[in-house]
Amino acid sequence: MGNRREPTKRRFLVIGCGSIGKRHIENLRRLGANDIIAFDTQAARGAEVVAAYGIETVASLDAAWERRPDVCLITAPTSLHLALAFKGAAQGCHMFIEKPLSHSWQGVEVLLDVVARHRLVTLVGCNMRFHPGLREIKRLLADNAVGRVIAARVEVGQYLPDWHPLEDYRCGYSARSELGGGVVLDAIHEIDYLYWLFGSVAATVCLAGKLSHLEIDTEDTAAMLLQFANGTFGEVHLDYVQRAYRRTCQIIGDQGTIHWDFGAGQVRWYSARTRQWKQYENPAGWEVNQMYIDEMTHFLACLAGEAKPELEVSQAAEVLRIALAAKQSAQQRRWIRLEEIGASAG
C-alpha cells in the first residue's frame, strides 16, 4: 500500500514534538526529507519546531490527515501509541512508532492484523540496536566467540530529573502511569536488545516499585529475571535513581565473557581459548545521535524496499509482551509465563 515515490520525497507527519520528535525531524531533514509536517497538542512545541526547522505545523490531527501524509512518526506519550497507529493505518500510512509499542496488550493483536492486511511498513524505535558496541556483540555471538551463552546481566540507570533538565520531570510521561510511564516500559531498550541477541523469553519474574523520593506515580526501580527459550538466563536492572548515568551489559559463555560499557564506549571480550582480552572501541568521533541517524536511514531503506525492518510491530509486540509479563509479575509476586500475556493482560 502507498505510492512509489522515493522515501525522502514522501510526506512525513510527525505526531508529537517533544525531544524525540524534534530529534527525528532534524535527522529526517539531514537525510534529505523536506516534506515534513508536525502536530503536537502543545502549541508551544509546535512553535519550537517551526522556529528551529521551518517546517509546517497543523492545529489538529484531522488537518494533518487532510494533507495526505505517506508516512507518520508517532512520538507521542506511550499510552497514545496504539490509538494513533490505528489512525495512521486507516490513512494508509507507513509508520515509525517510538518504543514501546504500547502500555498494555489491549488492541495490539488487532493492530498487527491491520498492518499485515494493508502491507504497511513499520518500524518501532530501536535505536540501541544501531549502537556500534551492541552490533559488535551481535557479531561476536554470531561467530560463537564465547561458546554457549549461559547468562546475561544488563543494567541501565539514570536520575530521572537529569533526563530533560529544562523540563519538570513530574510532568513528563515517564512520571505518570496514565501516560504509560515507569521504568519497565521506559527502559524497554534493554529488554529489546536481549530479545534481539538471544530470542524469545519463556518466563519472567520481577520486583518493581517506587523506592526513591521522586515525585512520580510509576515504578522507579525494577529487577527482573528472564528465562529465555534457548535456556539462557537474563538479569535486568532498571532505575530512574542513579545520579551517575550507567549502562552496561555482561554476557557469560562457557568459552568466554563479553563486557560492554556504554559510557566508556567499549566492548571487551575474553576468550578461554587464547586466555586473552580483546577490546573494541566506538568509531572515532562517534556521537549518540549517530544511532538515531542510522535508525532513520534504516527506516528510509525499509520504505524503499531495500531492507527488512529491524523491529517491525509484530516483533515489538513480543518485546512488549516481555515487559508486561514483568510488570504483572511485580504485581502478583510470581513467575509469569509469556503465553499468559494476551490471555490475561489488558
Q: Read off the pLDDT band of 165 (50, 70, 90).
A: confident
| Whole-number percent of the chain with pLDDT over 70 | 97
Mean pLDDT of the chain: 95
pLDDT, mean of residues 181-196: 97
Q: Read off the pLDDT band of 173 (50, 70, 90).
A: confident
Q: What is the pLDDT of residue 3?
A: 45
Q: What is the pLDDT of residue 332?
A: 98
For 44-96, how does the pLDDT look when each residue is reduced to its tens digit (9 = 90+)? 999 999 999 999 999 999 999 999 999 999 999 999 999 999 999 999 999 99
Q: What is the pLDDT of residue 4?
A: 54
Q: What is the pLDDT of residue 2?
A: 43
Range with lowest mean pLDDT among 59-63, 73-77, 145-149, 342-346 = 342-346
Q: What is the pLDDT of residue 307?
A: 98
Q: What is the pLDDT of residue 1?
A: 41
Q: What is the pLDDT of residue 12?
A: 98
- Is the per-residue pLDDT at 344 higher than 70? no
Q: Which residues pair with 39 in a beta bridge?
A: 15
> All domains of the chain, ordered by start, with CATH?
7-127+294-311 (3.40.50.720), 128-284+319-340 (3.30.360.10)
Q: What is the pLDDT of residue 6?
A: 83
- Is the per-residue pLDDT at 9 higher than 60? yes
pLDDT, mean of residues 103-117: 97
- Is the per-residue pLDDT at 339 higher than 90? yes
Q: Read off the pLDDT band of 345 (50, 70, 90).
A: very low
Q: Read off the pLDDT band of 166 (50, 70, 90).
A: confident
pTM: 0.95
